[in-house]
Amino acid sequence: MNKGEAKKRIEKLKDEISHHRYLYHVLDKEEISEGALDSLKNELYKLEQAYPNLITADSPTQRVAGKPLDKFEKLSHKERMLSLFDAFSSSDIKDWQERNIKVYKENTGRDIDKFEYYCELKLDGLAISVTYKNSKFFRGATRGDGKVGEDVSSNVKTISSIPLELRKISEEEYKDLGFSEAEKVEIEKYIYEDSIEIRGEAVMSKAVFESLNKEYKKEGKAVLANPRNAVAGSIRQLDPKVANSRKMDFYVYGLSANKRLRDLCKTRAREDKLLALLGFKALKENKVCTNLKEVEDFQNYVEKNRNSLDFIIDGTVVKINDLSLWSVLGVVGKAPRYMMAYKFPAEQVTTKVLDVIWQIGRTGTLTPTAILEAVKVGGAVISRATLHNMDEIKRLGLKINDTIIIERAGDVIPKVVKVMKNLRTGEEKKIIAPSICPQCGSKVEQKEGEVAYRCTNKNCFAVKFKALSHFVSKGAMNIDGLGEKVVEKLMQEALIKDISDLYELSVGDLEALERFADKSASNLISAIAESKERDLYRFIYALGIRHIGEESAQNLADEYSYYGKDKDENYVNILNMLNFFQKYSLEDWQVLPDFGPKLAESLYEFFHDEKNIELIKKLSKEGFQLKTKDVNKKDLKLKGKTFVLTGSLSSLTRAEAKDKLKELGAKVSGSVSKNTSYVLAGSEAGSKYDKAKSLGIEILNEEQFLDLIK
Ligand code: IVH
């Protein structure tokens, strides 16, 4: 290949690569695989090595070019990089519109009663200004003080979603955007014969940020606080190779420094479309809103879905869509009147510490958790915050009753940032580590050289964990989305201590946990609420009474449906059930089918245990609607009678006989006692027959029995 041919091939390769860059990095589409794209780049690189004077600055091979810098050059912005006014509520936004209506009247003498808006995501990254000369990347700069920034071109060029050459817009595309031929010619003049400057936000995705921090941790480096810091650090470091390794992204949010070009676009919405056609990534979520109600809806929608975005946003930016109004409304101080940052609810708020509880972890470690006066922070209601350990409490200087600042950033667990010591009243109480475990009452110790306090009972956490896991499990209350991992997490975060706490959880409590997006949090809360309508036997089984399996639980549920449940009760009143079963003596329990002394003892103990009574009382306030078999009590011919079956029957099975008896209100027991009313003796009746005889209990044969139940 001679130089002339190489030149042609190089041009073709550059065009092709830049087309695929646009598809891949801007439109999230791919026509050819990454591997294929890499081999095109490789061919280009080799050709450029062979003919170094054919290398141009806009070549894709030049994204990572140049040696590390000593420092960044300062440069003046053609148009000042402004900041934004903040709004925090719908009334702030309304006031803003009112002010603009007034200013409009003052400046034009005309009336206007509303504006159309273009609502955008407010990305939390670093503002960057990129200039193109004759359609080629010229330089990239930071905001600096708004007037003078730093030339960070070599790092900005490493961001793949920034084109090195502006994309050629087709006739068709101009037409689609509604530009006339004359307007198109004028726009192209700026692009190809002059310069244009665009502004946008460099961001780092949550995923890249997390993997970067993982790496840092491994290398023993200090971790970065958030993606914004990570971007700022990456853009403002001196080696482009490092910037290149920190995969960043760039979203454009405006044309700058050219009023005429803006006038041609007419609206911010059309400007966004034009920028996208020039090869930039514009935000798909951005939306035209024709009134404040729609602005409000957009804000709520974005806030609800913010966690599903790849990157962090801290609100929206509401812009007056008609660009000709921008110069009418003007700028006050450092911020324009024609746009407003509409921030999400505060992520730092003050609240009071009502109490500190100690939560046991898997390893027996006791972790202090602050119980807070509930507050809304970052859009969620928070009533607890972890305090980690005694050292953290000391570091904060925290006491019970203190006013504190808590923070909830993005989706992370709320943390206590600061104690407002000036607000103390003298009512504050010192926080003391417990000497006995709040879970099991065993001794607590602090090993020498360790921060943590530990419960000395090795099974402490395990017992509660097992009980809770059993309660929510499939065969029991069957709460979808509440596996063992989640139970463990909830226990560790002190969100649940026992079963009744499950029903007190709120979406806000869960959202604060890692990996709980809005949707899964509300799904879980609905699943928990839904479990209140289970069959009674599942609930009894879920209580985890010793020796009570699913079948015995069914027997207990039947027992209550037939003899305990009030006929006016649509659903089981668990408090009534508790009272009813508390009256059962050890002997009474053994009247239930197949309930021996072991079960009787366990049930008697369970229903007389203070903790269990307390739990059932708490649960009874949660509005359970547990279902039982519908028993028609009017017809209970055999109510109060107890039967024992022995031997085999010819016209029906023993199970059928049992069911029939239960239907008629009789109890069926496994063993003969003085409480037995009848023994039904089939053929080959055994010892039960003899016992009945000795106790003088009436014995029925099959025929007599059929007669009785007719
Ligand atoms: S418009 C007038 N649009 O927010 C200056 N800014 O708090 C604002 N930002 O420095 C430019 N997303 O870096 C605009 N969709 C968006 C934005 C956005 C994020 C940043 C921008 C600015 C900061 C102001």
For 61-118, how does the pLDDT look when each residue is reduced to its tens digit (9 = 90+)?
877 655 666 678 889 888 888 888 888 889 999 999 999 999 999 999 999 999 999 9
Share of the chain above pLDDT 90, in %: 45
Nearest to 657 by CA among 640, 674, 678: 678
Greater confidence, 144 or 539? 539
Give the residue, out of 123, 128, 271, with the most ligand 1 atoms within 8 A of its beta carbon, to mutate for a pocket test.
Answer: 123
- Domain covering 347-430 in this structure, CATH number: 2.40.50.140
CATH for 3-61 (3.40.350.10, 1.10.3720.10, 1.10.287.610, 3.40.50.300): 1.10.287.610
> Which whole number is the average pLDDT over 261-279?
94
Domain residue spans of the chain: 3-61, 86-343, 347-430, 458-533, 536-631, 634-709
Tokens of 134: 């004759």
Query: Model confidence at 709, in pLDDT bands (50, 70, 90)?
Result: confident
CA 198 to centroid of ligand 1, rounded, Å = 12
Atom of ligand 1 nearest to the CA of 316: 15
Which atom of ligand 1 is nearest to 199's Cα? 11
CA of 252 to the centre of ligand 1 (A): 10
- Residue bearing the CA closest to ligand 1, atom 12: 122
pLDDT single digits (tens) 518-573: 678 889 999 999 999 999 999 999 998 988 988 899 989 988 887 787 767 788 99
Q: What is the pLDDT of residue 171?
A: 93
Ligand 1 atom index nearest CA of 122: 12
Q: Which of 197-206, 268-277, 473-482, 637-646 has the lowest mean pLDDT?
A: 637-646
Taking the C-alpha atoms of residue 179 and residue 185, their distance in angstroms, rounded to an integer, is 10
- CA–CA gap between residue 679 and residue 705 (Å, rounded): 10
Is the pLDDT score of 317 beyond 80?
Answer: yes
Please report the sign of the dihedral spanned by the C-alpha atoms of residue 471, residue 472, residue 478, residue 479: positive
Question: Tell me, what's the pLDDT at 466?
Answer: 82
Assess whether the region 86-343 and the region 347-430 belong to the same CATH fold: no
Is 667 or 167 the better-scoring residue by pLDDT?
167
pLDDT for residue 520: 84
Residue located via tokens 């035209």: 288
Distance, in Å, from the CA atom of 306 to the CA atom of 122, rounded to the nearest integer, reads 11
Structure tokens at 657: 């006989």
CB atoms within 10 A of CB 227: 26
Q: Catalytic residue positions?
A: 122
According to the model, what pLDDT value does residue 45 have? 85
* Residue whose CA is at the smallest distance from ligand 1 atom 7: 84
Cα 195 to its chain centre, rounded Å, is: 44
DSSP assigned state of 246? S
Q: How far is the CA of 85 from the centre of ligand 1 (A)?
A: 10
| pLDDT(54) > 70 | yes
* Residue 199 CA to ligand 1 centre (angstroms): 9
- What pLDDT score was predicted for residue 536? 94
Token pair belonging to 599: 């079960």
User: Into which CATH architecture does domain 634-709 fall?
Assistant: 3-Layer(aba) Sandwich (3.40)
Domain 536-631 adopts which CATH fold? DNA polymerase; domain 1 (1.10.150)
Q: Is 279 left (phi over 0), alpha (psi -120 to 50) or beta?
A: left
Q: What is the mean pLDDT of the chain?
A: 88
Nearest CA to ligand 1 atom 1: 253
Lining residues, ligand 1, CB within 6 Å: 82-84, 120, 122-123, 127, 201, 253-254, 317, 336, 339, 341
What pLDDT is attached to residue 635?
61
Mean pLDDT of 222-227: 72
Q: Specify the pLDDT at position 214.
A: 84
Least confident among 245-249, 517-521, 643-647: 517-521
Report which residue type is found at 653.
T
Rounded average pLDDT over 297-314: 91
The label of the residue with tokens 């079960």 reads 599
From atom 23 of ligand 1, which residue's Cα is the shortest distance away? Answer: 83
Kindly give the distance from the C-alpha atom of residue 334 to the centroid of ligand 1, in angstroms, as a whole number: 13
Higher pLDDT, 663 or 576: 576
Whole-angstrom CA distances from 702 to 594, 604, 653, 687, 690 are 22, 35, 11, 18, 17
Residue located nearest, by CA, to atom 18 of ligand 1:
122
Q: What's the pLDDT score for residue 399?
A: 97
Higher pLDDT, 567 or 141: 141
- Model confidence at 647, in pLDDT bands (50, 70, 90)? confident
Pocket residue to mutate for ligand 1, from 82, 83, 84, most atoms within 8 A of Cβ: 84
Q: Which one is predicted more confidently, 567 or 468?
A: 468
What is the reported pLDDT for 410? 55
Q: How many CB atoms lie within 10 A of CB 572?
A: 24
The pLDDT of residue 656 is 82
- Please give the pLDDT value at position 67: 64
Query: Which of the four pLDDT bands, split at 50, 70 and 90, describes residue 31?
Result: confident
pLDDT band at 593 (very low <50, low <70, confident <90, very high): confident
- Under CATH, domain 458-533 is a member of which superfamily? 5' to 3' exonuclease, C-terminal subdomain (1.10.150.20)
211 vs 30, which has greater pLDDT?
211
Centroid of ligand 1 to alpha carbon of 318 (angstroms): 10
- Residue minimizing CA distance to atom 22 of ligand 1: 83
Which of 88, 122, 142 best tests ligand 1's pocket when mutated (most atoms within 8 Å of CB)? 122
Residues 254 and 199 sit within 8 Å (Cβ to Cβ):
yes
Instruction: For residue 193, report the distance from its CA to the centre of ligand 1, in Å.
Output: 28
Task: Give the residue-averaged pLDDT of 621-636.
Answer: 78
Nearest atom in ligand 1 to 127's CA: 13
For ligand 1, the distance from its centroid to the CA atom of residue 627, given in whole angstroms, is 56
pLDDT tens string 499-529: 999 999 988 888 777 667 667 888 999 999 9
**Is-contact 455 364, C-beta < 8 A?**
yes
How many alpha carbons fall within 13 Å on the CB side of residue 536? 25
Higher-scoring residue by pLDDT: 229, 339: 339
Provide the pLDDT for residue 687: 85
* pLDDT confidence of residue 495: 86
Atom of ligand 1 nearest to the CA of 335: 2
Reported as a single tens digit per residue, the pLDDT across 407-455 is 876 556 788 988 988 888 899 999 999 999 887 889 999 877 778 898 8
- Among protein residues, the one with the nearest Cα to ligand 1's atom 13 is 127
Predicted confidence (pLDDT) at residue 225 exceeds the cutoff of 70: no
The CATH-assigned architecture of domain 86-343 is 2-Layer Sandwich (3.30)
User: Which ligand 1 atom minimizes the distance to the CA of 254?
Assistant: 1
Total Cβ atoms within 10 A of residue 269: 20
